[in-house]
Structure 1
Amino acid sequence: MIDSRSRPDPIVYLDQVAASPPGRAYKRQVVDLLDLRPGQRVLDLGCGPGTDLAAMAEVVAPDGSVVGVDRDPVMLAEARARTARHRLVEIRGGDVHALPLPDGSVDRARADRVLQHVEDPSRVLAEFRRVARPGGRIVLAEPDWEGLLVDSRDPAVGRELTRFIATERIRNGTVGRGLARLCAEAGLGVRAVVTVAPVYRDFATADRVFGLRRNVTRAIEAGFLDAGAERWIEDVAAGPFLATTLLFLVAAEVTNGTDVLIGEGSGC
């Protein structure tokens, strides 16, 4: 009998994703796309437990600064504890739809797997444009949950599980593919679009990242899958195992409205 709906501790979950080989790889790409330089003021939208704040502060030192914004009191407390010794890092409570920052005050911003959960991604991008200085850049990293693929002898079950996650569990399950369009609609110049498709060969790691077992349970209870999916997930777990998902990384800048360029890239 598979485990049901118990969710992992959110801080532990975010740390595990960040520490996994796929997590480390795409986060390096995000930093590269940010093009951080000494003296810049960097904003981390939805900073969570502050996993990446200190590393960004090291790049913009000695005269730059990093501001992490989150609305979750538990995340804010953890982020403050982790960055207490970093004089260049500031943690602020606030909503990414209404940032607690003045106009034209940041050079760079990052939103890492945040827009999939927010009420209105367009409002968040409008807020970035408000607080950004001329030439300010934002890098967005978002999965497209319809791109979740799990190999099995019965791919139809995997397709239904993916549909359930993309439509029922994630507020904006396909926001990844829409990032470039949303940035352009917000008046930002799109500078790069990179797709990343990490491959997972270990079921335990993929289960931690995607919640495969608990989402199978939820999908059965919601009527997306029948009870036979319990045997399906156990067969998948027994291996050989392979899963992948599609992640979009988009870099966009505040421009004068006449030089919107789209670059395409890929990563693995």
Structure 2
Amino acid sequence: MDAIAYMDRAAALDDARAYKLRLLDALDVRRRHTVLDVGCGPGTDLLDLAATGAEWVIGIDADPLMVAEARHRTEEYPAVAVHLGDARSLPVSDAMVDRARVDRVLHYVPDPENVFAELRRVLKDDGVVVVAQPDWDTITVDPGDVRTNRAVREFVCDHVVTNATVGRRVARLAEDAGFTVDLRITTPVLRDFATADDILGLGRNAERAVRAGQLDADEAAEWLRTLAAGRFLATFMLFTAVLRPGSR
């Protein structure tokens, strides 16, 4: 699967555009602000951040391919810089950042508490962080056999996604790092099977579960046939949070 194309397709969904606009509004970027995008991927949101009038926009990603693509997309924007780096050890000075965003990144990180500690370190005392994080253990589909749905979801959480349930822990981890938290939970709804299959990986993860001996091949095939046959729904919980520094 082309990871860059996948991220672009996911970002283009109506629900994705809606929550991204909410995050951008919550950031309340002003002139002379330095804005940090942690896990910027191929630069999907860097130009929107630059359009806010920020003095400096910094994108950081751990994948060299993503960094190269993000640099290519922003090469005509002198206020945007993209760096290779780890969210758990940000290449940014203490109290340098006015605004930061972390969008669908934490499930890649085995120890996300370190990400929040780093955000607290680099953020100014009057700064704002916005976080968006799905919880992969909440993916639900209809129709289809409930036991098969559960088996595929459990396989994803146990073997595919590094930190599948971090969404529900965002508030606690942020508070432990010294932030105050304004938390919102939404449930995006996908009614088209092909789109949900692409974004949520229903078919490819069922196939992985079969290959791993965690799911019967005939049951997986019947489940996918049922999902694709008629009216369809998929949903999951998306945790979004606005963080502000508390007392150090």
Q: TM-score range by the shorter chain?
A: over 0.9
Q: Letter of the aligned partner of 1:68 in structure 2? A: G
1:251 counterpart SS class = strand
Residue 155 (structure 1) aligned to one of 146, 155, 168: 146
Q: Any idea what the Cα deviations from partners look like across 1:57-110, whole Å, max 9, x if unmatched?
A: 11134xx21100112111111000100111211111111111111111001111
Aligned to 1:110: 101
Q: Letter of the aligned partner of 2:31 in structure 1? A: P
Describe the shift of the 1:103–1:214 C-alpha distance in structure 2 as closer, same or farther (beyond 3 A): same
Q: Letter of the aligned partner of 1:117 in structure 2? A: Y
Q: Where does the alignment leave 5 or more consecutive residues of structure 1 unmatched?
A: 1-7, 258-268
Q: Any idea what the Cα deviations from partners look like across 1:26-79, whole Å, max 9, x if unmatched?
A: 211211222222221110001110000011111134xx2110011211111100
Report how many residues are paired: 247
Aligned to 1:215: 205
1:169 equivalent to 2:160? Answer yes
Aligned to 1:200: 190
Q: How large is the Cα RMSD of the aligned pairs?
A: 1.2
For residue 178 of structure 1, report the CA deviation from its aligned partner: 0.4
Q: Letter of the aligned partner of 1:214 in structure 2? A: R
Following the alignment from structure 2 to structure 1, what is the Cα–Cα distance between the partners of residues 28 and 139?
A: 29
Following the alignment from structure 1 to structure 2, what is the Cα–Cα distance between the partners of residues 186 and 255?
A: 9
Following the alignment from structure 2 to structure 1, what is the Cα–Cα distance between the partners of residues 124 and 144?
A: 52
Matches within 5 A, 1:135-146: 135-146=126-137
Aligned to 1:82: 73
Following the alignment from structure 2 to structure 1, what is the Cα–Cα distance between the partners of residues 18 and 101?
A: 16
For residue 241 of structure 1, report the CA deviation from its aligned partner: 1.0
Q: Where does the alignment leave 5 or more consecutive residues of structure 2 unmatched?
A: none
Following the alignment from structure 1 to structure 2, what is the Cα–Cα distance between the partners of residues 127 and 218?
A: 34
Residue 240 (structure 1) aligned to one of 231, 239, 243: 231
Residue 23 (structure 1) aligned to one of 4, 16, 23: 16
The percent identity for this pair of structures is 47
Q: Letter of the aligned partner of 1:150 in structure 2? A: V
Instruction: Please say if residues 152 and 158 of structure 1, whose CA atoms lie closer than 8 Å, have aligned partners that are also in contact.
Output: no
Following the alignment from structure 2 to structure 1, what is the Cα–Cα distance between the partners of residues 58 and 46?
A: 8
